[in-house]
Structure 1
């Protein structure tokens, strides 16, 4: 199954940086790349441990109604460098038309420098169901009840 996502490059964006693309036939996520403004392309973006930085992609997207774009970490960057998204998955709503930036953090102990064109995250397109929230006087009982974090045990 495929779905058309309209993509607009920012006026300053480097057109040599590929649009989001899937690395393999079975990939669920399309790779997003850092598309840095001209004034910082040579030095890249350094992210210190436990700091947050929005890394630009140089893109804007039009997600069709009924879908969202989920921004997820790349597993290799997480394993090798501790690079992750503090709000994973990030959500791009179908009615958002602003710049597509990726909020990144380093959960390791060493700073990470991202370079112009680096693959920085994955975009997964997913269907959205909007619920209708209805007030009630009480909820149906379940075996779990109000048991929260850790209430179902370990292992």
Structure 2
């Protein structure tokens, strides 16, 4: 279900929007292989008309299910924007389409959420772990590779 704002009603009063919107409704499913929006976005904001724009003020809250890009450990990031603000243009290049005196606010909510997705999610700051098989020491492979270095191969040549 989209978040629709009636412009005619907005001219006489502020409008309040409160509810939940899913990743599917926001078209945010399978956007990133390491970041997923699996729970609905909670929104609670008011819309005010200001000259040629609609100003949205309020709160967005959502939870991102992430996978660390280094160690592949799953973790969550909770985003709680208590002072969320967005400007929806009604004129100019970035004009929002007006259909039957209504503007769809969903793309603006979607854009702000998408911009919040971490580009390289890490389970903890500075995580430099690499995934490895249970019970196997990852350093064992490094030691073996060190023995089979290029210089060792050159020493084996009979010149």
TM-score normalized with structure 2 length? 0.28
Highest RCO, 1 vs 2 (Cα 8 Å, sep ≥ 6): 1
Kindly name which structure, 1 or 2, has the bigger radius of gyration based on alpha carbons: 2
Question: Which structure has more helix as a fraction of its residues?
Answer: 2
TM-score normalized with structure 1 length? 0.29
